[in-house]
Copies of this chain bind each other. A is one copy, B any other.
Amino acid sequence: MVTVALDAMGSDRGPEVTVAGAAQVSLSPGAPDLVLVGDEAVLRRLLLVTPHERARVRVVHAARVVAQDDKPKEALDAMPDCSILRAAELVARGEADVLVSAGNTGAVTLACARTFARLPTVQRAALGAVYPTERRRGPKDDPFSLILDAGLTLEVSADDLVAFAIMGSAYAKVISKNERPRVALLSNGSEDGKGTSAVVEANRRLRAIAGEHLEFIGNIEGMDIPKGTADVVVTGGFTGNIVLKMLEGVAETVMRLGRYAGDQSLRYKAGLGLLMPAVKKLRQATDWEQYGGAPILGFDHLAIKAHGRSTERAVGNALRVATRAARMELVRTLRESLEACRA
């Protein structure tokens, strides 16, 4: 039985959505056990009026909460009794298997860093994020690729990129059921020698490691990102964050540029009108918040970070991803992969 520790206070929309998401998950077949961490009185009050499976849900009190705009270090130093730390401690103690939070990303990561240990060879953690691509894969026609780091480690070394590649590959294997995820480094050129010094060195080492445990396909460039050429795209957090935010804007971008194209004719407007339903679907497809949450990879316990503005549905998806990762022993796979590829 998997137990998920949910930081129920860490959400822009308040505990109403986290409780609602957890309640909905608790009622599903194959539900995990759920520990909601936060202001006990508030949470119990919400649970009273939200249908849920009582046998699956319990509450652990935490008096304080880190706000979205708090500085992580200062907040955690000042509030050892905040919900994210308490939730992380449950996982560290083995009372829960995995952590989920929609709170302040820096605080969630720092809580992990202070409470968990790092996996072998890992110096910096990475946030993984899925995004939709042109390419479908697997029996479910999955369009998603994974990019990491999405913004935790702004300036990366070659060691970091190598660890991200190995962990990203392991995550894709477990979560996407992709037996051999294609892993690439993002660079300014496809040739092996192209890139910053960290990228060039990481490329060299990944070429050497590639084999049974890692399908490294080399470098990809910016235009390859949406194609899905790689199942796992590896880059530093600064670049990864910028790339993902650009992707988030892509549907709006083209509609706006389409207006720029300046064709005000009836023909164009009619076309646009007919296309809107598909464009709406497109917007949903590029709306990550519904796709379940981003794994924080690098620690000996897994944390899933849901978007701060997560809806009840997005929280539920994050809980489902966390449950699946725990059931499939993702951390064990991460550890084994990192050990196997140790230089």
Contact = CB atoms under 8 A, between A and B. Distances in A.
Interface string A256-274: 1111111100011011111
Contact of A271 (B221, B223, B260, B275): B275
A171 to B, nearest CB: 22
A285 to B, nearest CB: 6
A268 B274 CA distance: 6
Contacts of A267: 274, 277
Contacts of A275: 258, 268, 271-272, 274-275
A222 B246 contact: yes
A225 B244 CA distance: 12
Nearest to A248: B223
Contacts of A195: 154, 238
B188 A226 contact: no
Contact of A154 (B188, B221, B270, B272): B188
A93 interface: no
A151 interface: yes
**Interface size, A (range):** 35 or more
A251 interface: yes
Contacts of A259: 134
A123 interface: no
A154 B223 CA distance: 18
Contacts of A237: 188
B222 A257 contact: no
Given A134-B256, A274-B275, 6 more contacts: A151-B188, A154-B188, A196-B238, A222-B244, A254-B282, A261-B285
Interface of A: 132, 134, 136, 143, 151, 154-155, 186-188, 195-197, 199, 221-223, 225-227, 237-239, 241-254, 256-263, 267-268, 270-279, 281-282, 285-286
